[in-house]
Amino acid sequence: MRIGDLAARAGVSVRSVRYYEEQGLLVSVRSPSGQRHYTEQEVERVTFIQRLYTAGLSSRTIAELLPCVDTPSLENSDAAMDRMSEERDRLSAHIDDLIRTRDALDHLMSVASAHRTTLTAK
Amino acid sequence: MRIGDLAARAGVSVRSVRYYEEQGLLVSVRSPSGQRHYTEQEVERVTFIQRLYTAGLSSRTIAELLPCVDTPSLENSDAAMDRMSEERDRLSAHIDDLIRTRDALDHLMSVASAHRTTLTAK
DNA sequence: CTAAAACCTGACATTGACGTCAGAGGCAAG
DNA sequence: CTTGCCTCTGACGTCAATGTCAGGTTTTAG
């Protein structure tokens, strides 16, 4: 699979795929002419990378976590596990914050809606 | 209250407060010498603005929502309510996405942990 | 009164994940 | 063989919230 296909199937831009490789999040097999080739596996990997980006992780952080995905066993885990746990907690805190924000919006909307009801009732 | 106090109490930088005003999210009463003065009310407002920023809203979007907070009644509501509902939905979707990402991290961690248990058991 | 601390405006710098463009080469179909 | 699409590298552009600095005024503490 070439880069265009991978990008399309993962739902990202070709530019992004190259960027991921530049950041050490992805490796590619090069054809003699220098073109990148990928396997089915990489589709899932790219979507997972995107998922982490969307969760607010930086390239550097993702780079620290991915070895834990690649090699779900060895001793590299030590620091990576801590990092993973740390990011999990940060994510949880962020989720809670977002939920509070959503509640605030809901409250605003209900107040506005009540006002409207009052007005139309008059 | 002057800008430094407001910033400190809302937990943001002085620069940010000026930026919020520049973006039309905040108004200030100016002393004859040109210094900004605020009331207690603005503390809450700034923290709320920050909350929306953290939730991923842009200055422009926040500017569209705040009138709904200031005037929780009149006819401006129409478009603002739609916008608010739209952002609420976007927020909900994002929260769900983050929860799925957290689940993925949890899964990775449990797999790694299981591997570790297996190894130490040997 | 004076020095420190806080404020003002205006402008340029930063960061990160990309977009976009240029110039050159690769590859399948007709 | 050539036309059109894909890919390559490298570099510069972007956007948004904020940092930071300069040069000057104002307020506050002693």
List bases in chain C with any atom under 7 Å of a protein Cβ. 6-9, 16-20, 25-27
Q: Which residues lie across from B2 on neighbouring strands?
A: B37
List bases in chain D with any atom under 7 Å of a protein Cβ. 6-9, 16-20, 25-27
Residue B76's φ and ψ, nearest 5 degrees, are -60, -20
Helix crossing, B40-54 with B3-10: angle to 10°?
50
* Structure tokens that stand for A3 in this block: 């880069």
Q: How far is the CA of A30 from the C1' of D27 (A)?
A: 67
In tens, the pLDDT along B15-54 reads: 999 999 999 999 999 999 999 999 999 999 999 999 999 9
CATH number for B23: 1.10.1660.10
In tens, the pLDDT along A77-97 reads: 677 788 899 999 999 999 999
**Shortest Cα distance, chain A CAs vs residue B20, angstroms:** 19
Domain range spanning residue A20?
Answer: 3-121
In tens, the pLDDT along A16-63 reads: 999 999 999 999 999 999 999 999 999 999 999 999 999 999 999 999
Q: How far apart are CA A107 and CA A87, in angstroms?
A: 30
Nearest CA in chain A to B52: A101
**Number of structural domains in chain B:** 1
From chain B, which residues contact A within 8 Å (Cβ)? 48, 51-52, 54-55, 68-69, 72-73, 77, 81, 84-85, 87-88, 91-92, 94-95, 97-102, 104-106, 108-109, 111-113, 115-116, 119
Q: How far apart are CA A83 and CA A76, in angstroms?
A: 11
More confident residue, B106 or A76: B106
* Structure tokens that stand for A96 in this block: 């809670």
